[in-house]
Structure 1
Amino acid sequence: MATPMEEDLPGAEAEAAGPAPPPAAATGGDGDGENPAPAPASPFSDSDSDSDDGGEGGDAADELRIQALEQALQEQPLDYESHVQYIQCLRKSGKIEKLRAAREEMNKYFPLTPKMWQEWTKDEASLRPESFEDIEKLYECGVQEYLSVRLWRDYLDFVEENDKSVSQCSPSGLTKMRNLFERAITAGGLHVTDGSKLWEAYREYEMAILTIIDDDDEEKAKQVQRIRVLFHRQLSVPLVDMESILAEYKSWEAEQGNANDPTSNFDGVPSNVVAAYKKATEMYNVRKQYEDQLSNADASDGDKLEEFLKYIKFEESSGDPARVQVLYERAVAELPVSTDLWMGYTSYLDKTLKVPAVLKSVYQRATRNCTWISELWVRYLLSLERIRASEEELRHVFEQALQCSFPSIKEYLEIYLTRVDSLRRRMADGLDFQLIRQTFMDATEFLSPQMGTEDLLLLHAYWAKLERTLGNDLAAARGVWENTLKKSGSVLEVWQHYIAMEIETEHIHEARSLYKRCYTKRFSGSGSEEICHAWIRFERECGTLEDYDLAVKKVNPRLKELMMFKAQQEVKVDTHVVPKETTGSDFSQKRKSSKIPTKQQPPAKKKKDNPPNSAVLSDDHGSKEQISTGHVKTGEVSGEKTQASMEVNLVDGSRRENTASKESKSNFYSDKCTAYMSNIDLTANEEHIRRFFSDIGGVTAIRLLRDKFTKKSRGIAYVDFSDNEHLEAAIRKNKHKLLAKKVSVARSDPSKGKKNREAGSFSKDQATSGDRGETAEFANRPDKEIPKDKPTITGKNTFAAPRSVVKPLGWTQKDEKSDVGAEELKSNEEFRNLLLKKCVDLHVAIKL
């Protein structure tokens, strides 16, 4: 939407868009000597149809332009620029009826600029000079939109020339004109640069009245005193060119027969006026620096805003509310869509001035200029409530606010809550509670499709509370919560608030029924455990022994079920997680496909003594392998039942992993300049990691490893950097905290893994249980030096040893087939499977 303020344009805001500037006669002059009208002829024809007949070649193009703009405004009535262009086209073509309607339509949505009001009033005055009251209303609307000394001067001149009571100098006419001048002085008389024009017009009017007074000496003396008082008042206000005003005053006094010395500044001037004049001069000198900055025509809107804010802050420190208000009016007239100015202006009036009529006017203009600021609408509603506005006016403003376009749904929620707050506070004035109920219903219907659970819960909790306290209708309050459960029954907080309401109203049986309804539900996080423990605590504090026993009987199996499910989920995640001590170079082998061709191993022979139960588990390459299974003792929990459920989950998970891992085989990362991170908090995401390295920069990519099924973080990530300098800086952040956990940061070096793989020192799956090369290291040591926790290969226990490691004494290629009595040797693939199975079984046993 275009900025609704272009006061400096010479009568044709949309000249660049197509329409030419209107004729000089259309403006009739601007009251300050600019654009003088050479003739009083009207630029408009007598009818709309006449303007289209016999016109020049441009008339057809103008008509097409007008039709296009009409269509655009029907589709987008809030398009400010289209309104401006439409008015200019109609003004050029002379379609006066359409032009009047277009101006009225635009003013419904937007405030018009002072220049647009000048054009409108002068057009109407030239076409309908007899419609004085209608034109006077237009001037009244115009001077209330923005502060404009020019528009005030036009208004004063129009009334003086066209109001018969004023032109005939009747008592009522004199009173009306003087009141209008006083309003003008109040509005713009403190304007440092332009205020003198209003004072001057006021004095000239009173001097003209003096000249027509005949021989009534008493009346003449009163009129002379009025003029003298005006001079004294003006000399006490800091305005531009104070010296010339003082000189004019002395000259006027001389005309009245009061002799003074022209060479002396203050000769013949009363001492109190001299003191006021000197004070005003000092005030002007202090403000001159701010006025000089604002008078810079080349300054941008941002620079002007900054200067205005500085100026306003200075005036606020001086403690004169009238001067602050005039300065704010000047600022919003030049920068009408500045949120900072309107927010500051309304806040200042709320704290300092507190005049109902002024507050209402300023808030109305603020919300018309900045419709998208919800806080202004909230303040507007509160301000109307403070000045005890009628319910009809409050409702009208509330409905206007809902028709605006706010950036987020929460701002609409704030508008609704402000409205409910106001209705609640005024219930003592006889308002019907049905207004509150209807407002909540409208809010739910309007906001529910887009509002988050937290905000929806806030709204419904407030609604249920008011239904119970103000409406005295507990059934209605329960209905609010039941409707909420239909939409958000999986949210723990909804149940908690509902139960809390029943407990607060001492409806213990109803609260117990709610616990029975929700304790078996699955809530996010630890919510399911929380509601179970809450039920036990509730029965301990409020129920009988039978109620407590029943709750324990129902809750304990549920808690065991939740514990078992949690353990199963941890096993699924842990089977894919590398231990913390694994280095980056080791893990890099798990996320790239090896380019080294592997020799296909012969299938292992089936042994007669193999257990019947086996689980299919996929390794990190996605190959399915058979792993012999057994039962693990689990302490208090039944081992057989737990192990059986584990096996089922492992089988199902491995099948899904097999498919997913095959799709990721093609990923290959060189890790030339990459950091390996481990021990990352499971709630951290890529953005957390990026902020963790924000102080050193250079991050080009982040790969956070996630579980293939749950899509949750595995606590491991690879971070690519642009160069080694940034990588070294990243490594120095090792053991720094990320979300309250110290992360490990090391250089990722896949070349080490490649060399180890080529040397056959350790298989890829063995790397997950220890450092590379451990087995070869301990195999060469004496038995006494081998730690107790390291397995050794001795005697005939060779069934789990790869052929490349263990060979029977006297083994030759010829003896390979004849070795029937010895235990069959396992392939490397089988050895890997068995070792991984042992690790998984050991981990399950520890967890349980």
Structure 2
Amino acid sequence: MENTEILSSDDQKMDDASPENPIATGAVPPSPDDSSDSDSDSEDEAESNQQIQTLESELSANPYNYDAYVQYIKLLRKIADLEKLRQAREAMSAIFPLSPSMWIEWAKDEASLASSDNVPEIVLLYERGLSDYQSVSLWCDYLNFLLEFDPSVRGYTPDGISKMRSLFERAIPAAGFHVTEGNRIWEGYREFEEGILATIDKADVEERDKQIQRIRSIFHRHLSVPLENLSSTVSAYKAWELEQGIDLDIGSEDLSKVSPQVAGANKKALQMYSKRAHLEGHISKKDLSDTEKFQRFMNYINFEQTSGDPTRVQAMYERAVAEFPVSSDLWIDYTCYLDKTLKVGKAITHAYSRATRSCPWIGDLWVRYLLALERGSASEKEIYAVFEKSLQCTFSSFEEYLDLYLTRVDGLRRRMLSTMMVETLDYSLIRETFQQASDYLTPHMQNTESLLRLHAYWTNLELKTGKDLAGARGVWDNFLKKSGVMLAAWHAYIDMEVHLGNIKEARSIYRRCYTRKFDGTGSEDICHRWLSFEREHGALEDFDHAVQKVTPRLEELRLIRLRQESAPVKPQASLKEQNPQKSAREKRKAGANVEEESSAKRHKSKSQKVNEVAAEGQSATIPNTNNVKAENGKAADLDKEETEDAKPVKPKVYTDECTAFLSNLSVKAEEEDIRKFFADSGGVVSIRILHHKDTGKPRGLAYVDFSDDEHLAAAIGKNRKMFLGKKISIARSNPKKGKKDFSWRGSEGSGNSKDKSQVTDKAKAPLGGEGSEGERRGGEFEVRGKNTFAVPRNVKALGFSTLKPNADETPKSNEEFRNMFLKK
């Protein structure tokens, strides 16, 4: 029996003479009557050659341009340049997984030139294609090729039969559960077995009965799978049984005369199909956008997960990744499912291999690939190869590279400590990995907490695993040479030495860093920490030495703070340019009042005068303008109007009354992406993505304002969902939480208890002003600026509850302030 094509395939219905398959047809010389067509063909060929050269230049500059490869292969196939075409396909497949249609085209082109000698090479092509995607069409093409070109299969030899049965059994779980196309695999399998039955001698009753039972078993298995057109399969089965002399009531649509097990399985399959028919209809619509189709695939996958059949879930994931091969979200979801259900096995590592080839720019996939290899007890050589390959990829942030390095170190450490390891690993591998990470990441992540975490981990392993104290110190010393402005790094270095009991070494580190300049109050903090350190660990001489070193440094820092706080705030140049009349008006007012102000009042700021007048219960006085001419009065009014119009616009204040706070955002996230992410929640009013002040780069944080609490609650329900490759954290923004009334209070028990509203009003008076009597007695007032409590002023002796009525209120100088404390 001749079996050249027992599996139907839409891709093989192509006309051999059509231009769609130029390699199969070869070049056909034009007739003399077709000169115009020949000229047109020449122009097309010249244009194609020009495009090919352009694409070759692009691919030479960027070999990771997927679209350029697709276009390049298409043009080479059009001009039938087989040698270049093979090279292009090999180059692309080394970087990316090819789509099922591209593998089918490649195999067809090679099969058109095939002979019995190169069948193994084409079989290898099909196997490579199936390792990328489990496609029904690709499986059908593969099986049909063997039926047509493999002599052992075509001749039904024992080896050929065994080979085909093995392939069909592989194809059934991979493609036979495809609801709308799986019938093609089952029918092909059955027809192949029927072909074998036709070759068995009718006299060999035993062998024929055995083969008939094999075909019957395939029918029964087919009827138990929820596939499209199962009623046709039932009719075919009854007709086949009738040929074998068994009447199953071919006129009816049920299987009442079949065994209860088969009838029950078929009934269940029909019920399962009825539940999936509408889902199949949703994903098969032609007018769907990619986004809509992707979402419907995910809905289908979620439905299969609820059914609890891992085989069907995996089959749906395979259909989805074949449809959306470069969807990182889909690959992440798929591999997470495999990690959860299968735990270990080649299926998981193979899925990760395909995922990282499809989406090499997702660091999380590479990280979990390394972990999957470790769980599967892969060799160090295999894990190292994957790690090195991951470092050649381009990620969206350096945090992803850091995560890869840390994962690699974690794996090396665990395998070094494992008693189950056959291979012996040396600690130098960990040290080399850390050094490579530091060299690569330091220029890009200098002075960041993430880089500090890497080096802290390194020093910890140098001590515990490497048993090398000098190596740990070397790590910190090298890090501080480049990131010496990080106070936390100095603290970590000192804490390591203190933890090890190396007090002298810790003291020497304090001596190195106490004069350094750190952000915020860090310079003061390191001085105070040194004094605390000497109290806990040092002798009296050590403490005295630290005080001697730290005291002038703290005084220097205090004076610097005072100068910074007392420096006048210069008006913006843009405001001066926009309000020239305002400046002139202020000068006129200053000139009119200069004689009325005493020499003492000239030293007070405008804010001090206002508070002084308010404290005495007087209303603010308006400068006398009786002596000013009418023209000047009109000009002043005009100046006032223009000044009010030219007031600087106050920055918008966000109350965050109905706002979600987003963290762990991808740095690629934009407002439109966030709006789409919350599309199903609705109610988004505005979006604020936070950026670093220095670099302008996104911080991975954002605020999203919603119209009401209902929409906000729906948005918070998406917490920990995947968004642009990362699990996003969503919480309600509550700016009032944690705020405290930081105020200095007077002596307790002094009897100066006041109404809360009065205290609040008096807290508004600036430090250094005369204020009210309650303030002079030590009432509550708000701290403004940094270290404002150290501003020299009237010093109240301990135990005093009030000052004398005529006490000198003149602020004392810094020298007088010091002398009061140094007086013996």
- Scaled by the length of structure 1, the TM-score of the pair is 0.67
Shift of the 693–32 alpha-carbon distance from structure 1 to 2, 3 Å rule, reads closer
Say yes or no: does 1:235 pair with 2:229.
no
CA distance in 1, matches of 2:133, 2:428: 40
Say yes or no: does 1:216 pair with 2:216.
no
Say yes or no: does 1:159 pair with 2:146.
yes
Say yes or no: does 1:463 pair with 2:458.
yes
Letter in structure 2 aligned against 1:347? C
The residue number in structure 2 matching 1:483 is 478
The residue number in structure 1 matching 2:238 is 250
Q: Does the residue aligned with 2:466 lie in a helix, a strand or coil?
A: coil
Alignment of 1:521-532 (within 5 A): 521-532=516-527
Letter in structure 2 aligned against 1:239? L
CA distance in 1, matches of 2:212, 2:371: 48
The residue number in structure 1 matching 2:493 is 498
The residue number in structure 2 matching 1:43 is 22
In the TM superposition, what is the alpha-carbon distance from 1:550 to its structure 2 partner? 2.5
The residue number in structure 1 matching 2:613 is none
Instruction: From 443, 451, 454, give the equivalent of 1:449.
Output: 443
The residue number in structure 1 matching 2:111 is 125
Of 59-68 and 105-114, deviating more is 59-68
Shift of the 170–355 alpha-carbon distance from structure 1 to 2, 3 Å rule, reads farther
In the TM superposition, what is the alpha-carbon distance from 1:839 to its structure 2 partner? 11
Letter in structure 1 aligned against 2:583? S
Instruction: From 504, 527, 545, give the equivalent of 1:550.
Output: 545
C-alpha contact (below 8 Å) 1:242/1:281 kept by paired residues: yes
In the TM superposition, what is the alpha-carbon distance from 1:444 to its structure 2 partner? 1.1
The residue number in structure 2 matching 1:180 is 167
The residue number in structure 2 matching 1:293 is 282
The residue number in structure 2 matching 1:593 is 583
In the TM superposition, what is the alpha-carbon distance from 1:393 to its structure 2 partner? 1.3
Structure 1 unaligned residues grouped into runs of 5+:
1-28, 578-587, 621-665, 678-685, 700-735, 744-767, 771-786, 790-837
CA distance in 1, matches of 2:55, 2:307: 49
The residue number in structure 2 matching 1:171 is 158
Say yes or no: does 1:203 pair with 2:162.
no
In the TM superposition, what is the alpha-carbon distance from 1:107 to its structure 2 partner? 1.0
Letter in structure 2 aligned against 1:593? S
CA deviations on 1:116-152 (whole Å, 9 max, x unpaired) are 1111101001123331111101000112212211110
CA distance in 1, matches of 2:143, 2:538: 82
In the TM superposition, what is the alpha-carbon distance from 1:419 to its structure 2 partner? 0.9
Shift of the 591–176 alpha-carbon distance from structure 1 to 2, 3 Å rule, reads farther
In the TM superposition, what is the alpha-carbon distance from 1:272 to its structure 2 partner? 0.6
Instruction: From 93, 114, 117, give the equivalent of 2:100.
Output: 114
C-alpha contact (below 8 Å) 1:377/1:401 kept by paired residues: yes
Q: Does the residue aligned with 1:406 lie in a helix, a strand or coil?
A: coil
Q: Does the residue aligned with 1:127 lie in a helix, a strand or coil?
A: coil
In the TM superposition, what is the alpha-carbon distance from 1:676 to its structure 2 partner? 8.3
Letter in structure 2 aligned against 1:549? D
C-alpha contact (below 8 Å) 2:17/2:25 kept by paired residues: no
CA distance in 2, matches of 1:63, 1:515: 70
CA distance in 2, matches of 1:404, 1:386: 23
The residue number in structure 1 matching 2:126 is 139
Q: Does the residue aligned with 1:187 lie in a helix, a strand or coil?
A: helix
In the TM superposition, what is the alpha-carbon distance from 1:437 to its structure 2 partner? 1.0
In the TM superposition, what is the alpha-carbon distance from 1:251 to its structure 2 partner? 1.0
CA distance in 2, matches of 1:669, 1:426: 75
C-alpha contact (below 8 Å) 1:332/1:338 kept by paired residues: yes
The residue number in structure 2 matching 1:302 is 291
Shift of the 258–599 alpha-carbon distance from structure 1 to 2, 3 Å rule, reads closer
CA deviations on 1:546-605 (whole Å, 9 max, x unpaired) are 3233323333333333333323332226x779xxxxxxxxxx999943469849979x99
The residue number in structure 2 matching 1:533 is 528
CA deviations on 1:507-549 (whole Å, 9 max, x unpaired) are 1111111112222222222212222222222222222233233
Alignment of 1:643-792 (within 5 A): 670-672=643-645, 689=653, 740=739
Shift of the 211–769 alpha-carbon distance from structure 1 to 2, 3 Å rule, reads closer
The residue number in structure 1 matching 2:334 is 345
- Scaled by the length of structure 2, the TM-score of the pair is 0.69
Structure 2 unaligned residues grouped into runs of 5+:
1-7, 31-37, 572-577, 608-638, 660-683, 687-734, 743-763, 767-771, 775-807, 819-824
Letter in structure 2 aligned against 1:442? Q
Q: Does the residue aligned with 1:297 lie in a helix, a strand or coil?
A: coil
Query: What is the root-mean-square deviation in Å for CA atoms of aligned residues?
Result: 4.1
CA distance in 2, matches of 1:71, 1:589: 58
Shift of the 592–384 alpha-carbon distance from structure 1 to 2, 3 Å rule, reads farther
C-alpha contact (below 8 Å) 2:301/2:317 kept by paired residues: yes
In the TM superposition, what is the alpha-carbon distance from 1:490 to its structure 2 partner? 2.0
Say yes or no: does 1:331 pair with 2:320.
yes
The residue number in structure 2 matching 1:633 is none
CA distance in 2, matches of 1:562, 1:228: 93
Say yes or no: does 1:67 pair with 2:53.
yes
Shift of the 536–595 alpha-carbon distance from structure 1 to 2, 3 Å rule, reads closer
Runs of 4+ in 1 over 6 A off after TM superposition: 39-42, 45-48, 588-591, 599-602, 615-620, 666-669, 673-677, 691-695, 736-739, 842-848
Shift of the 471–840 alpha-carbon distance from structure 1 to 2, 3 Å rule, reads farther
Shift of the 590–465 alpha-carbon distance from structure 1 to 2, 3 Å rule, reads farther
Say yes or no: does 1:278 pair with 2:267.
yes
CA deviations on 1:797-844 (whole Å, 9 max, x unpaired) are xxxxxxxxxxxxxxxxxxxxxxxxxxxxxxxxxxxxxxxxx9995899
Identity %: 47
Shift of the 508–174 alpha-carbon distance from structure 1 to 2, 3 Å rule, reads same
Say yes or no: does 1:473 pair with 2:468.
yes
Letter in structure 1 aligned against 2:88? A
C-alpha contact (below 8 Å) 1:31/1:153 kept by paired residues: no
Letter in structure 2 aligned against 1:223? Q
The residue number in structure 1 matching 2:675 is none
Letter in structure 2 aligned against 1:180? L
CA deviations on 1:763-822 (whole Å, 9 max, x unpaired) are xxxxx999xxxxxxxxxxxxxxxx999xxxxxxxxxxxxxxxxxxxxxxxxxxxxxxxxx
C-alpha contact (below 8 Å) 1:45/1:95 kept by paired residues: no
Q: Does the residue aligned with 1:476 lie in a helix, a strand or coil?
A: helix
CA distance in 2, matches of 1:62, 1:97: 16
